[in-house]
Structure 1
Amino acid sequence: MTAFNRADAAAVVATYADDGVLMAPGRPAAVGKDELAIVYPKVFETVGFAMAYEIKEVVQISADWGFVRSATEGTETNKATGVVMPAAYQELFLLRKSATGTWQIARYCTSKISPAG
């Protein structure tokens, strides 16, 4: 999350498994590090993020698999217009332990929460 807030695409992609999948709102799934290495820089070129994260749940479901449920709130800045808007998301990370023992993102699904209105 720190890498995401500082728009460090390489560091974000490094947290994924080689076959990791990003499922983001309004976008087709990005599958594998090669696609993720294209998607994240494009996102960071167009939007600036200032987000706070809250871990809601962490569950290890087997020796090599677990999940994290989180909530994110803050602002997004449209870099083309400079417009800053409030933003809120809910996320689900499916994690897999690598051969070296590092937990990596196998699947990441995020959905934007509509502002109250």
Structure 2
Amino acid sequence: MTDDEKAIRQVVASWMAASRAGDLATVLGLMSDDVVFMTPGQEPFGKETFAAAMKAMGDTEIEGKSEIVELQVLGDWAFIRNRIDITARPTGSAPVRRAGYTLTLLRKEADGAWRLARDANLLTLRS
């Protein structure tokens, strides 16, 4: 495994750990400033909309796992295909489970860090 592949796997692990901890600042730091998220039924959105949605979740507890199914590094760009299973437990509400695949593009930025640049999230509700 190359150093870049290790660094990208660490980005995914850090994202999952920060999400579980409710550490929005760390999650935002793992994204490029021009990040674009694509989810079913919504127009693409960026970092500010992502941050607002996370803040609106309040004290929601998040559990989950991510399995990298495929990882390819192409110079300063890379893509990963992930299988993700996430459960959100909002305070006072029933848990919501979503699972499925994402296709994520990462970019190695000027500081040498890999950051999420584009994400197509295909997670669906599961029981």
Residues 35-74 of structure 1: matches in 2 within 5 Å? 35-42=49-56, 44-45=57-58, 47-61=60-74, 63-74=75-86
**Paired letter, 1:58:** L
**Structure 2 unaligned runs (5+)?**
1-15
The residue that corresponds to 2:6 in the other structure is none
Q: Report the Cα distance in structure 2 between the residues aligned to 1:78 and 1:26, rounded to whole angstroms.
A: 22
Q: Report the Cα distance in structure 2 between the residues aligned to 1:82 and 1:30, rounded to whole angstroms.
A: 26
The residue that corresponds to 2:36 in the other structure is 21
Task: Tell me, yes or no, if the aligned pair for 1:72 and 1:90 is still in contact at 8 Å.
Answer: yes
Give SS of 2:120's match.
Answer: strand
The residue that corresponds to 2:93 in the other structure is 82
Number of residues of Structure 1 aligned to a counterpart in Structure 2: 112
- Cα drift, residue 85 of structure 1: 3.7
Task: Tell me, yes or no, if the aligned pair for 1:95 and 1:105 is still in contact at 8 Å.
Answer: yes
- Cα drift, residue 46 of structure 1: 7.0
Q: Deviations over 1:11-52 (max 9, x none)?
A: 111111111112234443222x4443323322x327432111
Q: Deviations over 1:72-111 (max 9, x none)?
A: 12422233x3312433131111001101111111111212
Q: Report the Cα distance in structure 2 between the residues aligned to 1:9 and 1:100, rounded to whole angstroms.
A: 21
What TM-score do the two structures reach when normalised by structure 1?
0.79
| Aligned-residue RMSD, C-alpha | 2.2
Is 2:118 the partner of 1:104?
Answer: no
Task: Tell me, yes or no, if the aligned pair for 1:57 and 1:69 is still in contact at 8 Å.
Answer: yes
Structure 1 runs (4+) deviating above 6 angstroms are none
TM-aligned CA distance change 1:46 to 1:84, over 3 Å = same
TM-aligned CA distance change 1:74 to 1:45, over 3 Å = same
What TM-score do the two structures reach when normalised by structure 2?
0.73
Q: Report the Cα distance in structure 2 between the residues aligned to 1:103 and 1:96, rounded to whole angstroms.
A: 6
